[in-house]
Structure 1
Amino acid sequence: MYQSPTAEAEVAEELAAVRPGLLPRYRAELPGARAAVLTRLWRALAHEPLPWVTGRVHGAHSLALRLADGRTLHGPHADPYATGAHVTAVRLGRERHDDPARLMTGLAVPHATGFALELGHSVASLALSRAGADHPKEWPERDWEWEQRVVDGHPFHPNCRSRPGFSVAEQLAYGPEHHPVVELGTVAVPAAECLVSGDWPEELRAGEDVLLPVHPWQAAHVLKRSCDRWRSAHPLMALRTLALPGGPHVKTALSARLTSSVRDISTYSVGASAALSALATDLAARTDGLLHITRTLGAATAHSPDLAALLRESPEVYAGPGERVLPVAALTTTALPDSPAWLAAFARLALTVGLRLLDLGVALEAHGQNLLVILSADGTPVRLVYRDLADIRISPARLARHGITPPALAGRLITDDETALRRKLFGSLVAGALAGTAGSGPVLRAALAAAVPALPRTPDLAALLEGPVPAKALTLMRLSPDTPGDQWCSLPNPLVLEPGA
């Protein structure tokens, strides 16, 4: 039987050895971390198409889930767009559960044991992250400083801070919320054995070799070899992507499962990077200056997802005098989203840009990590920056309708399926970036209601307004390890949510 404190106790034991002064804060953060992960899990149980949930009974302020084995799970109303930690306990039969890992074990559904372990790690790592986070009140000046203010990770994934395979010492050394400086290394690979796309800089070449930047965790745990020291860098929200002072961002291979996916870099992504960057430059020029897309400067791989890297423009290059650029996920660390007018303006900007690109033929993965906003000196959202083209979707038919030559690519990025295109954008932007910034269904509804009248009427907008909002079924995906690819759920349209929902 799974014992709830296991992951928490393991972290406490390691912390006592490597940073004993942080232990009291870690222990104090554990109840809040359990509630934060439980809130995310309850949202998934309430809204995802889990095969063992056979019915949902909604009360005025409560929700009951009927399970296939005859039991009933009771909890509070589950706003699909709410963030935070408003669920402190649920009841399975007569047993009260305030620990998400113990709850999952008690449910005893297929693959629950492995997921329960992940949830336990998520709680412990989240408590550690909160214990180590110490942000100044003033606004940061550098982009990586904004990134490091995002402590809780994904706003809706129960594995919001799960970092299996990372010791406590490694989390403190590499987690952006702990403000470390990471020493990147390089591995020399004969150029004849590499695939290189774009311009690979001279400082990462040595004679007939290509020098591939390597994260120290990857070197120790996957490559199991030492690396030549290269440069110091600041880790960003994505952990494996780091900012070089005064230089580009470096996306490294990090073959660990963070949240849902193993974070490596495929040969496909390296090979497609130059064509995608060229397409992005063309598309950004068609948005009337509202969107910048960071260019991939160069990419290289030793034909292995475990040994590859991309060099990408820093979003800072697109900020003018007096402007700041920050990831959308960092907006909640400011007071800006508390203004209904500000949030409506931001929603209007984000939807205008997202729908424009979708109409042209590209669906962005515009969640709070990939999407950044440029703020004027007074905090007004003026432009957007998008980064990481590795998981967009491209419609050759839509591009052709606008006289744009589709890139010479095949594979997973290419589709003309309208459902797939709309899921990609709306699932990441509306159910992700905008919902995570709004923090609740009613607040999101108000922002969308104010923004929609100014949006161009397109079939894609009509689909958004008329139907439910697609969102990735993140828990279903973790409980379906034998089912490849994304799985989806449908969330109630925030524009027609019941008052108080």
Structure 2
Amino acid sequence: MNLPLSASHLRPDPAQAPRFAEQQHSRLLINCYAREVAMQEHTLAVLPAPRGVGHPAMPPNHRGQVLEIALPRVDSRLCVGVLHVSSTANFDYTTDVYLRSGDQAWRQAGWQDVARLIIEDLSRRADTPFNNELMQQIGDSIATMSDVLERHPATPRTPGQRSLTPLQTYIDSEQGLLTGHPFHPAPKSRADWSPAEQRVYSPEHKASMRLHYLQVPQQWLHSDSVSNGVGDDGLQGLQGAGLRPDAGTVIVPLHPWQAGWMRRQPRIAAALRSGAMRDLGVLGRPFHSTASVRTLLAEDAASFIKLSLNMRITNCIRNNARHELQSALTGTRLYRRLRDDMRTRFPGFHVLEERAYVTVNMPGADAEIDDGFGVLLREGVAGILSQQVQPVVCAALFGNGAHGRQRVFALIERYALHNGLGLEQAARAWFARYALAAVHPTLYLLFEHGVAFEPHMQNTLVGLDAQGAPTSFIVRDLELTRLAPRAHHLAQAMTLEPATLAALCCSDERAWVRIGYCLFVNNLCEVITTIANGNHSLYLGLWGVLRDTLQDYLAQFPHPSASRRIQGLLAGEPLPAKGNLLTRFLRQADRQASYLPLYHPLGVVNSAAASL
């Protein structure tokens, strides 16, 4: 188990940041297209290292395998060096991308070549015009990534490094997602922010900011809290500025950028001029920007505050619709009914509660304005830190390029030293602990209770013990909680608005798609690829560990629904993979995203239980 294994894993020199960002986005596009189109149309192959003469497109010193993708609709081919075959399209790349159009010779392809070719192919496939907006989003994402890498070139810290406190280590993980979602064409696109605004507000730039406050009439406010108090009480306590509203009014916080957006809206400007609304400015204590960009962590880590941003980040405009706020609190209320049972069965599993929200219903305003006020108060990580557990955002470790792999390698190396293990044995044992902590409680919630959270990498934290090993799995962001039919009666017994109830309740199939994608594809596929780090034997061994984890779950909880789904996976049934490229290309809302079948090695690997 070595690090790094290839040039693709090296952290770029700041002077090479633009080229690295462009190369990274070419690979992201290959990731997306391979999984969403080429694998579906059987136009992808991984060619073995040829004997003697290498592949005609590859550099003279390349003797590894080559991923080739045919694009017959545009009479072209793409190829790139890879370390090994991956049935899930989690490839480790070793070269630039190369392009051959028609009968022309192979040539090195820049990001614009790759993007234009893929977008043109998708245009012909869907019989739609070329999507210039997507091209622009990719360019924006490259510019953001390049700027981050140029300005923050320091060697990444590892969890538990002595120079950082546990809280600083956690914040570092929130602000260390340098390459972003590995299966999104434009993971760092924030086109509404200027470069200067990026540096002030983005987590990758270590942003810390104070909130902006508006005073609005009391009758405009909608609020709720899980303690059945007034939701804005908790939010007011976050201010730290000693603000007191005038009689008949309330004070609501905004992200400072959002406050500027709001003031530019004609109805808000008119309310400010008339005195119906009052701008109190930027006040109080600073908050740390976190991985989701719009969610901020209080200085004492006791709470998060999730604010609205009327701008697109990846697939969505990131404002807080009222039904999403209600869904988040409903997720907390439902989980509280199950919490004692879950703590007994899975003591390392934790759900960060969504505790209160406020939003505004401004007379005569449209939903875009109202949703722009939505604010959610979430439980922080102070309680976890007090238990001597080190929380780390999963996305900071997995699917985060060299930065994440170096962190994971340091953790496994520490775990190996503590337990007298070889690195590969330690890697399997470390992953076995992670898989047990993540898989069993998530499947139990789904199959025994009908509750599906959204445990993808950015929505989950792994809690590490003193040896650097996983000891807990923490889920957050409950606004997209979904309930399978066996849990519908729980939501129907609550006083919920029709839009909230409709969003919460779904079919068994939709609930499984949520868990199949978020937990298995988005999370575990990346965990396995990161830990294996190009070692194909270890890669298959880790899939064997996951197979054991699933079999162990069925032995403990043989629910018929669990048996049908898990036995299906172990027999080779595909997992659902989200089509982020297709969603962006078709300009669809995230809720309209398509899910494609993704085949995996669970049906063909041997059991590989890790034991000390």
Whether the TM-score (by the shorter chain) exceeds 0.5 is yes
CA distance in 1, matches of 2:35, 2:349: 33
CA distance in 1, matches of 2:501, 2:37: 28
Kindly indicate whether residue 360 of structure 2 is the aligned counterpart of residue 299 of structure 1: no
Match 2:570 to one of 461, 465, 483: 465
Describe how 1:114-125 pairs up with structure 2 within 5 A. 114-125=133-144
Instruction: Work out whether residues 577 and 595 of structure 2, in 8 Å CA contact, stay in contact via their aligned partners in 1.
Output: yes
Match 1:239 to one of 293, 318, 333: 293
Q: 1:102 to 1:91 in 2, by over 3 A?
A: closer
Match 2:203 to one of 139, 153, 176: 176
Q: Alignment identity in percent?
A: 22
* Number of the residue aligned with 2:18: 30
Q: CA offsets, 1:173-195, max 9 Å, x none?
A: 11112212212111122121121
Match 1:66 to one of 58, 71, 74: 71
Kindly indicate whether residue 148 of structure 2 is the aligned counterpart of residue 132 of structure 1: no
Kindly indicate whether residue 445 of structure 2 is the aligned counterpart of residue 357 of structure 1: yes
* Number of the residue aligned with 1:200: 232
* Number of the residue aligned with 2:610: none
Instruction: Work out whether residues 273 and 299 of structure 1, in 8 Å CA contact, stay in contact via their aligned partners in 2.
Output: no
Instruction: Work out whether residues 327 and 504 of structure 2, in 8 Å CA contact, stay in contact via their aligned partners in 1.
Output: no
Q: Aligned residue pairs: how many?
A: 474
* Number of the residue aligned with 1:317: 383
CA distance in 1, matches of 2:371, 2:192: 18
Match 1:104 to one of 93, 98, 115: 115
Amino acid at match of 1:243: L
Q: CA offsets, 1:234-293, max 9 Å, x none?
A: 001011101111241110101111111111100112233432221122233332223221
Kindly indicate whether residue 584 of structure 2 is the aligned counterpart of residue 478 of structure 1: yes
The structure with the greater share of residues assigned to helix is 2
* Number of the residue aligned with 1:148: 175
Instruction: Work out whether residues 328 and 480 of structure 2, in 8 Å CA contact, stay in contact via their aligned partners in 1.
Output: no
CA distance in 2, matches of 1:54, 1:413: 35
Q: CA offsets, 1:12-67, max 9 Å, x none?
A: xxxxxxxxxxxx96542122222222212102111214899684455334323233
* Number of the residue aligned with 1:341: 429
CA distance in 2, matches of 1:92, 1:420: 40
Query: Which shows bigger deviation, 47-56 or 137-146?
Result: 47-56
* Number of the residue aligned with 2:335: 280
Report SS of the residue matched to 1:228: strand
Amino acid at match of 1:445: W
Amino acid at match of 2:567: A
CA distance in 1, matches of 2:116, 2:189: 17
Kindly indicate whether residue 444 of structure 2 is the aligned counterpart of residue 374 of structure 1: no
Amino acid at match of 1:115: L
Q: CA-atom RMSD, angstroms?
A: 3.0
- Structure 1 residue runs without a partner (length 5+): 1-23
Q: CA offsets, 1:85-136, max 9 Å, x none?
A: 5452131414635433332224423443221111111122112222233444
Describe how 1:425-440 pairs up with structure 2 within 5 A. 425-439=515-529
TM-score w.r.t. length of structure 2 = 0.71
CA distance in 1, matches of 2:581, 2:81: 19
Report SS of the residue matched to 2:310: strand
Amino acid at match of 1:476: L
Report SS of the residue matched to 1:353: helix
Q: Which has the larger radius of gyration?
A: 2
Query: Which shows bigger deviation, 269-278 or 201-210?
Result: 201-210
Match 2:306 to one of 243, 251, 272: 251
Instruction: Work out whether residues 68 and 77 of structure 2, in 8 Å CA contact, stay in contact via their aligned partners in 1.
Output: no
CA distance in 1, matches of 2:95, 2:502: 37
Query: Which shows bigger deviation, 411-420 or 357-366?
Result: 411-420
TM-score w.r.t. length of structure 1 = 0.85
Amino acid at match of 1:68: R
Task: Give how far 1:453 is off.
Answer: 3.4
* Number of the residue aligned with 1:488: 595
Q: 1:58 to 1:323 in 2, by over 3 A?
A: closer
Amino acid at match of 2:384: Y
CA distance in 2, matches of 1:50, 1:227: 53
CA distance in 1, matches of 2:308, 2:605: 44
CA distance in 1, matches of 2:89, 2:545: 13
Task: Give how far 1:425 is off.
Answer: 0.8
CA distance in 1, matches of 2:263, 2:523: 35
* Number of the residue aligned with 2:55: none
CA distance in 1, matches of 2:506, 2:315: 26
